[in-house]
C-alpha cells in the first residue's frame, strides 16, 4: 500500500472511531453493579486517584460522589469521549 492510500485509510479509520466513540460514550452514564462493588473499600475519603483510560468518566464521578475521593484525574486518548466526560462534570 502506498503512503497516500495508507494516510486516507488512517483518516477514515479515525473518523469512524470518533463517530463510534461519541455514541458509545452516551451509553456509559452509569456504573455497573459489579464495578461499583469492586470500588467499595478501594478508595478512602480524600484520596487522589489517577484513572488511565477513563472513557466517559462514569467511574470517576462515582469515585467522588459515592466513595469520597478528594480528587480524580481521568485521562483517555479519545478526545470525543473526554469531551463527553467534561460535559458530565460541567468542566
The pLDDT tens digits for 9-31 are 988 887 777 777 666 666 666 67
| Alpha carbons 76 and 51: distance in angstroms, whole number | 9
Model confidence pLDDT, tens digit, residues 33-87: 888 888 888 888 999 999 999 888 888 998 999 899 999 999 998 888 888 889 8
Residue with cell 462534570: 89
- Cell readout for 53 is 483510560
What pLDDT, on the 0 to 100 scale, is given for residue 6?
A: 87
Q: Is the pTM of this model over 0.75?
A: no
Instruction: Select from 31, 32, 33 the least CA-distant residue to 64.
Output: 31
What pLDDT, on the 0 to 100 scale, is given for residue 26?
A: 63
Amino acid at each position: 500500500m502506498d503512503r497516500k492510500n495508507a494516510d486516507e485509510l488512517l483518516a477514515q479509520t479515525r473518523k469512524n472511531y470518533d463517530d463510534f466513540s461519541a455514541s458509545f460514550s452516551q451509553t456509559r452514564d452509569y456504573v455497573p453493579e459489579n464495578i461499583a462493588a469492586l470500588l467499595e473499600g478501594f478508595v478512602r475519603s480524600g484520596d487522589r486517584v489517577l484513572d488511565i483510560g477513563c472513557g466517559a468518566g462514569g467511574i470517576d464521578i462515582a469515585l467522588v460522589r459515592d466513595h469520597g475521593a478528594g480528587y480524580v484525574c481521568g485521562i483517555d486518548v479519545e478526545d470525543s469521549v473526554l469531551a463527553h466526560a467534561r460535559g458530565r462534570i460541567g468542566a
